[in-house]
Amino acid sequence: MTELVVWICLSLVVFHYLGYPLLLFVFSTFSQAKSDFLYLVRRANRRCPFQPDYAPRVAVLMSVYNEQAVIQAKVKNLLETTYPPDQLEFLLGLDASVDSTSELLKENPSCRLRVFSFETRRGKLAVLRDLAGRTSAEILVFTDANTMLENNCIRNLVRHFADPRVGAVSGEEIRVVPPGADPGGESLYWRYESALKILESRLNCSLGGNGAVLAVRRSLFRPRKQSIVEDFQIPLEIRFRGHRVVYDPEAVAVEEIAPTFSAQFARRVRIGAGNFQTLFANPECFNPLKGLVTFCFLAHRALRWFVPVLLTAAFLCSILLLMQPEYAVLLAGQCGFYLMAGSGYLLKKSGKPTRLFSLPLSFCSMNLALVVGLLRYLNRRQTATWTPTLRQIRPEMLLDKGSDSR
């Protein structure tokens, strides 16, 4: 029985990181082949669903808390978008900010910019819900103060809504590394996630979104509850109500990563707590009648959140089987991997290069953050409000129109 536990746990981990992406690639290849065949034989599908003259009314909504360091650059970035000005407005909600954000906004007045101050801090989703009720725009675009949108980002997001089946569209977030920071294995992880999102979108199984560059159809924006990770909860609800959620890597936003390892870890913990909140609050995601979309939720999302449990079980069972040579080797391999992660952490703390250990460190820190996030969720210690990490707007984050940022 103990041997079976080891191999089941390790097999699930390997399936999640390797088997699932391979299956997605195979499924998406067959899906594309089917679409091409139907088009050639019956012209059943339009090859280009986008309408060049499609420009619905759009409202950009942003919840702001103590963003004096970046707010002026953000407003300038929004006003420079290429979307038709007469069809675009900006609504900013100050979530009980106590710095000079409000005063700085008054220095750059614009008829398209509407600012609302809220005295009680409630969290991002509550502010966005309030702002959504103050506009009649057909499409809502959510973004963050420390994220710069490419000039054609909003246009690229909105073009998908010409298809009435589309309920939400998420863009691509590029993360800039500030001087002195080390992204470690995260850069590889970002590419990995981006590939999964593209494949899932092709199969109409995209579930989550990016809160810094996310568009939703206003009529479908009906969040049922407060959420720690609203950018996952909102698209998830929309997809399980039968609407499409699209991932568009051409709708580009740029954000600076958290400058320190501790800040990166704290962000992962908060997201981890939000992930478990979403998992237990949405039982419909386990409905097998939903088919492939349920499979993708379980294989991509739920399985990842329980990888730390699987790894811990495999490690403990390997210790119990230590007297068998093959399991002694397996245990040594696990210990070596975790020692590499620990060495990477010590090197990072001392300010030394960690390139050799960056992947083990990133992998272990992400999974440790999930464990801490689960404990915070169970203890109800993680709230929908948090203190943002102090970041800056750097020249490399200001993208020109049509720039190739990938």
For residues 70 and 255, what is the distance between their CA atoms, to the nearest angstrom?
Answer: 11
**8-state DSSP, 138:** S
- Our measurement of the distance from residue 379's CA atom to the centroid of its chain's CA atoms, rounded to an integer in Å, reads 24
Note the pLDDT of residue 177.
61
What residue ranges do the domains of the chain occupy?
58-259
**CATH architecture label of 58-259:** Alpha-Beta Complex (3.90)
Contact at 8 Å (CB) between 374 and 273? yes
> Cα torsion for 125, 129, 130, 132, to the nearest 10°?
130
Q: Please report the pLDDT score of residue 397 as a whole number.
A: 55
Using CA atoms, how far residue 258 sits from 175, 265, 266, 297, 351, in Å, is 10, 9, 10, 28, 16
Q: How far apart are CA 282 and CA 227, in angstroms?
A: 12
CA 8/CA 199 separation, integer angstroms: 26
Distance in angstroms (rounded) separating the CA atoms of residues 115 and 288: 44
Query: What CA–CA distance (Å, rounded) separates 322 from 294?
Result: 38
What string of pLDDT tens digits covers the 406 residues of the chain? 899 999 999 999 999 999 999 999 999 888 878 777 777 777 655 555 567 788 999 999 999 998 988 899 999 999 999 999 999 999 999 998 888 988 998 887 778 899 999 988 888 899 999 999 999 999 999 999 989 999 999 999 999 999 999 999 999 888 766 555 565 566 778 888 889 999 999 999 998 888 889 999 999 998 876 778 888 999 999 999 999 999 999 999 988 777 778 888 888 999 999 999 989 888 888 999 888 999 999 999 999 999 999 999 999 999 999 999 999 999 999 999 999 999 988 988 887 777 788 889 999 999 999 999 999 999 887 676 666 665 555 555 555 544 443 3
Do residues 342 and 30 lie in contact, with contact meaning Cβ atoms separated by under 8 Å?
Answer: no
- Nearest one of 158, 161, 144 to 59, comparing CA atoms: 158
- Which two tokens mark 344? 């990477």
Helix 325-349 vs helix 307-320: crossing angle, to nearest 10:
130
CA distance 181 to 351: 10
- pLDDT computed for residue 210 by the predictor: 87
Please list the residues that pair with 60 across neighbouring strands.
90, 141
Task: Provide the pLDDT for residue 406.
Answer: 39
Residue 395: partners with Cβ closer than 8 Å, 6 or more residues away: none
Count the residues in the chain. Answer: 406
Using the structure block, give the residue that is written with the tokens 């702002």.
131
Where b means 16+ CB within 10 Å and e means fewer, 170-205 reads: bbbbbbbebeebbbbbbeeebeeebebbbbbbbbbb
Give the pLDDT score at 223: 82
Question: What is the per-residue pLDDT for 401?
Answer: 44
Q: Amino acid identity, residue 78? A: L
Phi and psi at 122, nearest 5°, equal -125, -15
